[in-house]
Structure 1
Amino acid sequence: MTNRPRVALVTGATQGLGLALLEGLAERLGAGDIVYATGRDRDGLARITAGLADSGAEVRGEFFDVADPDRAEELAAALTRRHRGVDIVFNNAVMRVGPDDDPRAVVDHYAEVNNFGTTRVLRAFAPRLRDGGRLVVVTSALGTLSYLAPVLHGRFDGLATLDDVDRSVAAWRDAVRDGSAFAGPWPAFVNIPSKIGQVAAVRTLARQRRADDLPRDVLIAAVCPGMMNTPTSQAWWDVSDAPTPERAARSRCPFVRRDGAVRRLLRCGAGQDRQRTDSAVLPKPHVQVVTIWMPSEQVVPEDRTPGQIHEKLRGREPLT
């Protein structure tokens, strides 16, 4: 890898984990490097860029609504014209749901942001990654098939293309919207299928690109954090003992390093389905995709497991 200035981008960078990732990148990268803070809040972007003016890297703001079907490609093309590619992308933009939200009412925009927004970012930015590039999708510890009924595993496992992933997500979205999902095996907590869909998208694209990416030291990964103390989590659980976004971000920023840490991960494991950071066991070298499960000091409380959320939401009102 050369010592050229690096170009980074963070989606959903105006609050929570996205803002913490942005601050971490701005601190870790050096003079001449550029970090793009993106989001839908133009005033917030202006405040953030002004507040980080004295950071190691230059921080620039860009309006980016991942739900816009064309914006990801437009922005990726613009950065390529300016910088001849990108080095680091953290896809963190997310629509949040609370306990009082009716899944049927919110699922359209929820899937548009969280899932189709993710696949748009993957399609637009992965081809623009320079040698040594990193494209990291921030998902959730709920993004594992173990939270999904076995009969549904084939909807997300082993898909061939991102179009296949989008079709599976669309079928789930439509079933939630018309209520049929609640009469079948789908979990009522929409976060679970959505996060599984994000991980499936990363696995699918990384598998397709592996032969080309490995010699170029390019990493495409899904990072699946555990519980964090955020306003959204506070609405569901007691997260007073969970890590803050700032603390959680410290475990994600090492993926941008220029040393051999990620190359060792790729060569020893690139990638296994569950490369747990708290495990001393090296992944098998023949597995194709990297999904990194980031354990938290706090797991989901026993009285608010996904299964119990599922039952709570199922019993709220009869479907119409």
Structure 2
Amino acid sequence: MTTANRKVRAAAVQIAPDMESADGTLAKVCEAIANAARQGAELVVFPETFVPYYPYFSFVRPPFAAGPEHLLLYERAVVVPGPVTDAVSAAARSHGVVVVLGVNERDHGSLYNTQLVFDANGELVLKRRKITPTYHERMIWGQGDGSGLKVVDTTVGRLGALACWEHYNPLARYALMAQHEEIHCAQFPGSMVGQIFADQMEVTIRHHALESGCFVVNATGWLTDEQILSITPDPKIQKALRGGCCTAIVSPEGNLLAEPLRSGEGILIADLDMALVTKRKRMMDSVGHYARPELLSLMIDDRPASPMSTVFPQSAPVVPAGVPRTTVATFPSSANESSASVRSVHANAIEA
């Protein structure tokens, strides 16, 4: 772990999307990257599914009435790779910053809550999908898989990411902890549920920083009064679309490195002294000297899930013509089991 004498300037962006245009939201992303870079930021983190916007409508509308908004989200969603990733990649490369961006990803007939990590050279080094959408979100997004539970090496250090209530899944967090993340990037929608959501969020990200012994950079979204009105005209329902913002940066010792942003748009900046990672882990390393793997351990299936696998891949050995044989195939025990696990046994070969 190369932490000694290294400091990283991080930026957490609290920002409102352009609810009328996906291109407008993308323009705000590129503008915020440039703004943060001017302030010396080397890492810029945006809110959950910020492009084109978080599906706030699904929280306040019944499913039967949400069809038009859902279809519009399909139309505006991000294809990876595509024009949006090209633009963000260029911005990251131009300003020499690592960017963590939440998007609604469209993959043919499904949408996913996706987190994208771009290194400072513009390379897309991680694409991961939220493993379990929460409550109303399950009507909008499909489920991710274990292939995205990865920590990646970037210019600013070993970086992991989770979205929203994935932070309430201790095994998902432990999967990243076991890969020795130094900086954890958290994303929440913001402008939902009220102050209790913000309070719970702060407890959650501070606890992860302490337990993982890493920095946490958390970004939440923001809705203006006009945007809330456009989602619902009902004043009672509008209350469900206010509060819930806690854009914050936390040290491995659980300290807030700047006063959190709880309303409005803004960019929170803090310097991360990476020596604090070792300082914390010297006392309590959850995946090292404080672990008991012979008693408690995590098993993870990190293979990409696929709706189809090839039973007899083209690389299977060819049995010469005229050789009597009986073929027995063992099929995958689950939809995600890779075709590599499919075996064929040839019997009744030529007798001696």
TM-score range, shorter chain: 0.3 to 0.5
* Structure with more of its chain in strand, by fraction: 2
